[in-house]
Amino acid sequence: MSTRTPLMAGNWKMNLDWKQGLALVEELGEALANVDLSDVEVAVLPPFVDLRTVQTAIDAGKLPIALGAQDVSAHESGAYTGEISGAMLTALNCTYAAVGHSERRQYHGEDEAITNAKVKAALEAGLTPILCVGEPLEERKAGKHVEYTLAQLEGGLEGLSAEQAAKVVVAYEPVWAIGTGEVATPEDAQEVCHEIRELLRVQHGDQVADAVRVLYGGSVKSANVADIMAKDDVDGALVGGASLKAEEFAKIAGFRAA
């Protein structure tokens, strides 16, 4: 039995302005009141401009929801127009920052070097990076999904000490399963999540490999989450579309009741 606490993180992507974000987090707080959260952690990753409002609502309502950002700058501070630093996020009580999401890689040209720099910047600021990795459809069809994903993982974690690596959350998000409704089978998710853990084992030893949470992401819903979570190496989910509905996301958090 794993001692890792599952993490259900809702990536809102570029949805919901601050008023809508406020409504959703309040609704989510209510919906979670009916869920057994003794062994599961729930987080939301709103757009940057929603963070302050959402944080205030979480604090005021003492909601059992951790906060995270969808990205973080690789730089500490200064003349980087449009960027948001790790320190700005920790000042908002953020715990997490997603790094290297496939949409950042695809639409913003973020490569291994920038992803690696962002992982390090997040750790420096005291944030837990959620390092996203996963293969496009062509690589899956060619049977190269493990190789491709592990290369992204190696790149993202390059130069980290064992102590730093132990703090990272990894999210395996096959690109072909994101927003498509085409969820990976539990076996597909397990295969790659297991290989991710084994690479951590080779690089940093058992303690790190057994501590790091490896999430699955891609069309996760309340209807499919339990089967995916039943797999040994899957420690949670990074949820896009289904995290925009309070009841549905609360059901995902309560996957054990399904």
> By CB under 6 A, is residue 218 in contact with ligand 13P?
yes
**Near ligand 13P by CB under 6 A: residue from 7, 11, 63, 148:** 11
**Pairwise CA distance, residues 40 & 162, whole Å:** 25
Size of the site for ligand 13P (CB under 6 A): 14
Report the residue count for the chain.
258
Tell me the C-alpha distance between 88 and 76, whole Å.
Answer: 10
Minimum CB distance to ligand 13P, residue 225 (Å): 11
CB of 220 to ligand 13P, least distance (A): 5
Q: Which residues contact 196 (CB under 8 A, 6 or more apart)?
A: 133, 149, 150, 153, 170, 172, 214, 233
Q: Which is nearer to ligand 13P, 178 or 208 (CB)?
A: 178
97 binds ligand 13P (CB under 6 A): no
Shortest distance, position 105 Cβ to ligand 13P, whole Å: 12
* Contact map string, positions 47 to 86, toward ligand 13P, x by CB under 6 A: ----------------------------------------
Which range touches ligand 13P (CB under 6 A), out of 81-89, 186-194, 213-221, 250-258?
Answer: 213-221
> Collapsing DSSP states into helix, strand and coil, what is residue 237?
strand
Q: Residues 6 or more apart from 83 whose CB is under 8 A from it?
A: 73, 75
Binding mask 164-193 for ligand 13P (x = CB under 6 A): ---------x----xx--------------
Distance, CA of 18 to CA of 48 (rounded, Å): 9
CA-atom Rg of the chain in angstroms: 17
In the chain, beta strands by DSSP E: 7-11, 41-45, 66-69, 96-99, 128-133, 169-172, 214-217, 236-239
The letter for the amino acid at 169 is V
Active site residue 173: yes
Q: Residue 108 catalytic?
A: no
Q: Please report whether residue 220 would count as binding ligand 13P according to CB under 6 A.
A: yes
- Choose between 173 and 233: whose C-beta lies nearer to ligand 13P: 173
Residue 239 lies near ligand 13P (rule: CB under 6 A): yes
DSSP 28-39: HHHHHTTS--TT
* Using rule CB under 6 A, residue 106 touches ligand 13P: no
Q: Residue 15 or residue 20: which is nearer to ligand 13P going by CB? A: 15
What count of other Cβ atoms lies within 10 Å of the Cβ of residue 228?
24
Active-site residue (options: 41, 101, 103, 139): 101
In the complex, the residues that contact ligand 13P under the rule CB under 6 A are 11, 101, 173, 178-179, 217-220, 238-242
State the catalytic residues: 101, 173
